[in-house]
Structure 1
Amino acid sequence: MHLQGSHWSSAVASADGGGGRSTPLRVDAQRNLEHVLRAAREVFGELGYGAPMEDVARRARVGVGTVYRRFPSKDVLVRRIAQEETARLTDQARAALGQENEPWSALARFLRTSVASGAGRLLPPQVLRVGVDPESEPRVPQQRHAASEAPTGAGSAAAATAAVPSQAAGQPELRLVAQPAASDEQDDAGVATLLEVVGQLVARAREAKELREDVTVADVLLVIATAAPSLPDAAQQAAASARLLDILLDGLRPRPSDH
């Protein structure tokens, strides 16, 4: 996963992105929104969150103005994609907990499912930056505030920072943009939930002596990010991911000296 330097900031979200009431979109507007979100997942998955909005627009086959009408800055779009990815990973972790009785099988199932879905290429940056003590509960790192970038900036979402931008207030009113983005607290809550559920998988495997004592939740999520390479050929990508994950899973197992 390619993450380049930038600020992780909040701004004005799309009408349906903040969790509140919204005005129903026209059929063509809804179709454009779906195309933009699909294109963003593909482009950011291939190039990282540093990819420009123009690339997303080209992949969606819409004008860049259409993208900005739905997402007034790239930070807003990145936040939306990362929120969806966090929720998807959380669901996958919960499914593994509920469907596998054996601790190691549950952890391995979560990793295989997540890697196969390509989730690692879209992991929120603050997930990979989290510091987890092996003996403590997972926690979300304290975020620092920074100024937001302009919508046309080419930065990415690599730095786990949060901001309340002044930029949105100075912009002209945008159609189909009716409410503020999800708050930083809501973002943190989603990440914290993911860390908590993955933490249960890690704790169970560690208690069963099936996981190295020094492996943390952050390590497990790093495996997901590392084992999901972006290759042009789908079959080659699947084979490379499976092979790399086998190697990484073996590295998570206790060493003979640990017993």
Structure 2
Amino acid sequence: MTTRAPDDGARPLRRDAELNRRRTLEAARRVFAERGLAATLDEVAHRAGLGVGTVYRRFADKDALVEALFEEQIRELCHLAEAAATDPDPWTGLASFLDGSSERMAQDRGLRDAVLTGEHGRAGVALARAELGPRLQALVVRAQDSGDLRADVTATDLVTALKSLQVAGDLGRQACPQYWRRHLGIYLDGLRTRRARPSPLPAPPLSDEQLGEAMQTHHRARG
């Protein structure tokens, strides 16, 4: 007759560890989205309802937490690109990806900081090149094959456009949160081969004063 080894509690501890990791990531997403990457691990732990020591057991420092969160967000963008590729209309699929990914950046100050500063998210950048890049390329090819997207546009052109839209989102954050949509409309009109007339721009421009103040804030934030 065999006897069952007593439960040493390892599995519940592993489940608890994974639960705390998820709580930390979800709290970090909210805190960094609101305050940017200047937020501290103490703030993240408080939002998660955990002790700082518990957070440090899951992530060695804030950089490790930002890396994990950025990698997770890149995976979400990959899912967004996959969904866009199933749209029966290749142009609509491409436009929906550009809109959806830009909206995520505009609403998430931490994600925008990670992309714009280039100081964080090395694992996420590698993942973007390996996983997101080919998916974006597939969207480009579909839209070009349908005749809707300019034949001379490349996936790297769209990555550059997405980064400029992040800057527009940063500049318009206070005066016009939808400012990035105005520039997305301009880009889409320039990318499309067939349109009867210029599309209405969905947000107003910034005034000279608003742009000047936003530029100063942007440069101060970037050091």
* TM-score of the aligned structures, taking structure 1 as reference length: 0.54
The answer as to whether partners of 1:212 and 1:255 remain within 8 angstroms in 2 is no
* TM-score of the aligned structures, taking structure 2 as reference length: 0.61
The structural deviation recorded for 1:86 is: 0.8
* 1:210 and 2:198 are equivalent in the alignment: no
The structural deviation recorded for 1:123 is: 6.0
Name the counterpart of 1:70: 58
Size of the aligned set, in residue pairs, is 180
Amino acid at match of 2:181: L
The structural deviation recorded for 1:63 is: 2.0
Going from structure 1 to structure 2, the CA distance change for 1:161 and 1:67 (only over 3 Å counts) comes to closer
Amino acid at match of 2:28: A
* 1:113 and 2:100 are equivalent in the alignment: yes
Name the counterpart of 1:90: 78
Taking only aligned residues, the RMSD between alpha carbons, in angstroms, comes to 4.1
* 1:100 and 2:88 are equivalent in the alignment: yes
The answer as to whether partners of 1:44 and 1:51 remain within 8 angstroms in 2 is yes
The answer as to whether partners of 2:84 and 2:94 remain within 8 angstroms in 1 is yes
Name the counterpart of 1:159: 119
Q: Deviations over 1:26-70 (max 9, x none)?
A: 555444322211111112222333422122112212221111011
* 1:225 and 2:166 are equivalent in the alignment: yes
The answer as to whether partners of 1:82 and 1:124 remain within 8 angstroms in 2 is no
Name the counterpart of 2:134: 196
Going from structure 1 to structure 2, the CA distance change for 1:198 and 1:223 (only over 3 Å counts) comes to farther
Partner Cα separation in structure 2 for residue 110 and residue 89 of structure 1: 8
The answer as to whether partners of 2:166 and 2:180 remain within 8 angstroms in 1 is no
Could you tell me which runs of 5 or more consecutive residues in structure 1 were left unpaired when the two chains were aligned.
1-21, 130-156, 163-183
Partner Cα separation in structure 2 for residue 108 and residue 120 of structure 1: 20
Flag the structure with larger Rg: 2
Could you tell me which runs of 5 or more consecutive residues in structure 2 were left unpaired when the two chains were aligned.
1-9, 196-223
More helix by share: 2
The structural deviation recorded for 1:113 is: 2.8
The structural deviation recorded for 1:160 is: 6.0
1:100 aligns to what SS in structure 2?
coil
The answer as to whether partners of 1:86 and 1:194 remain within 8 angstroms in 2 is yes
The structural deviation recorded for 1:84 is: 0.6
1:254 aligns to what SS in structure 2?
helix
Q: Among the aligned pairs, what percent are the same residue?
A: 31
Name the counterpart of 1:48: 36
The structural deviation recorded for 1:95 is: 0.9
